Amino acid sequence: LGEIADPSAVEPLVRALHDEHDDLRCQASGAIAKFGPGAVEPLAAMLGDPDPNVRIVAAGVLGDTGEASAVEPLIG
């Protein structure tokens, strides 16, 4: 999904970050980072997830986007 560069792929990839399989979460996180600014909002929302593993992955991917708009959610 990350290779097609279609913004509609962000939401399914974000949902994949909740998957129980580490490999799928890893692949999804790498694909999401390619969407840059389009990934910041859904990932920032995941920083409030009750699952600490989801929060850790979301924070890492936010940093990988390289977007200035990701800084504020990460500081919070």
How many C-beta neighbours within 10 Å does residue 13 have? 23
CATH number at residue 26: 1.25.10.10
Range(s) of the domain holding residue 62: 2-75
Q: What is the pLDDT of residue 72?
A: 94
Task: Determine whether 67 is exposed, middle or buried from the number of CB atoms within 10 Å of its CB (0-12, 13-18, 19+).
Answer: middle
Nearest CA to 31 among 21, 20, 43, 47? Answer: 43
Give start and end residues of each alpha helix (H) in 1-76: 10-16, 22-33, 37-46, 52-65, 71-75
Written as six digits, the tokens of 17 are 């970050």
> Would you write out the chain's pLDDT as a tens digit for each of its 76 residues?
667 778 888 888 888 888 888 888 878 878 887 887 888 888 898 899 898 888 888 898 888 888 999 999 999 8
Q: What is the tally of structural domains in the chain? A: 1
